[in-house]
Structure 1
Amino acid sequence: MSDHVRDLALVREATDRLLTAAAKLDDAAVAAPSRLPGWTRGHVLAHLARNADALVNVFAGRPMYVSAEARDADIARDAPRPLATQLADVRDTAALFQKATAADTDWSRTVELRNGVTDSASRIPFRRLVEVELHHVDLGIGYELEDLPEEFIGREIDFLVDRFAGNASLPLILITASDGRQWRTGRADADPVSVIGTAADLLGWLAGRRQGAGLECDGTLLPVLPSL
């Protein structure tokens, strides 16, 4: 089982880091494009706030979102707000998430997220940590994949390779970080493809944040990963 207590502390730290960095922006910068196609920085901040609300729903046994359309509409509605409103919303909803997860609960129970995905309640704090850390990078305000905590990078690579494991559209992918850590994903019965690079570059590729230009592939084209 995941260490949810420690992960909740890491979520608080990551949220404070993001809020401190974003507070240096202004309203024009919030309205400018983020690194996510079609989204401004306001979209990213609005998504973080609405995701915290959604995870509170998960803990309460309610649907994570009313619908995919409602989720997208809420983000679009909140994206144009000024910086002060965005920051207050991210801060307040983060506090509600921490309050919801501080209550006595069965951390071993299974909860339902979007699209029928289920997970242990104990893993939800880490899922929130992923949202905060990667979307901080997506803001494009000086926080890069290389700035992410090393432990987080390794855990998120673990999560992503597990997600792609057994995918029929992929070869067997043997992944090696420059620090010696290794993973495998894709089809177990396919010819292997070796991918080597820094942990940050590997995470960027697996998470759809980088195209893989910094990675080495053993004489073949870098596999095209399915959308997350």
Structure 2
Amino acid sequence: MTDHVHDLRSVREATDRLLTAVAKLDNAALAEESLLPGWTRGHILAHLARNADALVNVFEGRAMYTSGEARDADIERDSGRPLVEQSEDVRHSADRFLAVADADQDWSRTVELRGGVTDLASNVPFRRLVEVELHHVDLGIGYTLEDLPQEFTGREIAFLADRWSGRPEVPPTALAATDGRTWRTGSAGEAAVTVSGSAAQLLAWLAGRADKGAALTTTGGPLPTLPPL
């Protein structure tokens, strides 16, 4: 089972890093475009706050979001708030999530996430960590994929590689990081393509970030096209 205690500690640390960085912005910077097409930095902070509340719903046995439309409307509604309100919302919603996660509970139970996806409760803290870390990068304020903790990068690569495993539209693919770590993704069978690069570059491709794999090298064929996240 995943070490949820370790992951919750990492969530606290990552949230503090993000809020420390955001505190250096101003209202004008918050209204600027982020690295996610169509979203300002305010959209990202609003999403992080509402995602924390949605994961509280998950822990308490409610639907993560009432609907996809309601989720999107809440983010849009909250995206234009001034920096002080945004920062307080991110902090307080994170505190609510951590308070619920710190309570005694059955971490081996299955919970339902967005779109009917299910997972073990023990994996939810890492899912929250992914939101905080990757969206910190998406803010485009100096925190990059290369700055992510090595352990986090490896786990997220493994998670995304598993997500595309068994998908017939993705050829059998080996992933080789320059630090010696390896992963496997795509359809079954002997790897037809090997994709090589730094762990940050591999994560950029799998998560649809930065150059989306342009800096990677491949042998055995072109860089595979991945389904949308």
Distance, in Å, in 2 between the alignment partners of 1:186 and 1:219 is: 14
Cα deviations across residues 21-66 of structure 1 (Å, max 9, x unaligned)? 0000000000000000100000000000000000000000000000
> Matches of 1:203 and 1:110 in 2, distance apart?
27
Q: 1:50 and 1:224 mapped to 2: Cα distance?
A: 31
Alignment of 1:99-110 (within 5 A): 99-110=99-110
Q: Where do residues 214-225 of structure 1 align in structure 2 (5 Å cutoff)? A: 214-218=215-219, 220-225=221-226
CA contact (8 A) 2:192 2:221 kept: no
Aligned letter for 2:32?
Answer: A
Alpha-carbon distance in structure 2 between the residues aligned to 1:57 and 1:219 = 45
Residues 27 and 82 of structure 1 are in contact (CA less than 8 Å); yes or no, is this contact kept in structure 2? yes
Q: CA RMSD in A?
A: 0.9
| Structure 2 counterpart of 1:58, one-letter code | V
Q: Is residue 64 of structure 2 the alignment partner of residue 64 of structure 1?
A: yes
188-197 vs 120-129, which moves further: 188-197
Native 8 Å contact 1:171 1:190 kept in 2 = no
Runs of 5+ in structure 1 lacking a partner? Answer: none
Task: Name the SS of the counterpart of 1:174 in structure 2.
Answer: strand
Distance in 2 between residues matched to 1:130 and 1:37, nearest whole Å: 19
Secondary structure at the aligned position of 2:9 is classed as: helix
CA contact (8 A) 2:174 2:191 kept: no
- What is the CA distance between 1:220 and its match in structure 2? 2.6
**Is there any run of 5+ residues in structure 2 with no aligned partner, and where?**
none
Report 1:29-48 matches (<5 A): 29-48=29-48
Question: Partners of 2:39 and 2:191 in 1: how far apart?
Answer: 38
CA distance in 2, matches of 1:62, 1:108: 18
Query: Which SS does the other structure have where 1:196 is aligned?
Result: strand
CA distance in 2, matches of 1:99, 1:111: 18
The question of whether the paired residues in 1 share the 8 Å contact of 2:192 and 2:220 is answered with no
Asked if the contact 1:179/1:198 (under 8 Å) is kept, the reply is yes
Q: Identity rate of aligned residues, in percent?
A: 68
Q: Shift of the alpha carbon at 1:189?
A: 3.3
Q: State yes or no: 1:75 paired with 2:47.
A: no
- Please state whether the residue corresponding to 1:194 is helix, strand or coil: strand
Q: How far off its partner does 1:168 sit?
A: 1.1
CA deviations over 1:88-125 (Å, ceiling 9, x no partner): 00000000000111111000000000111000000000
Partner-residue secondary structure (3-state), 1:98: helix
Q: How many Å apart are 1:188 and its aligned residue? A: 1.0
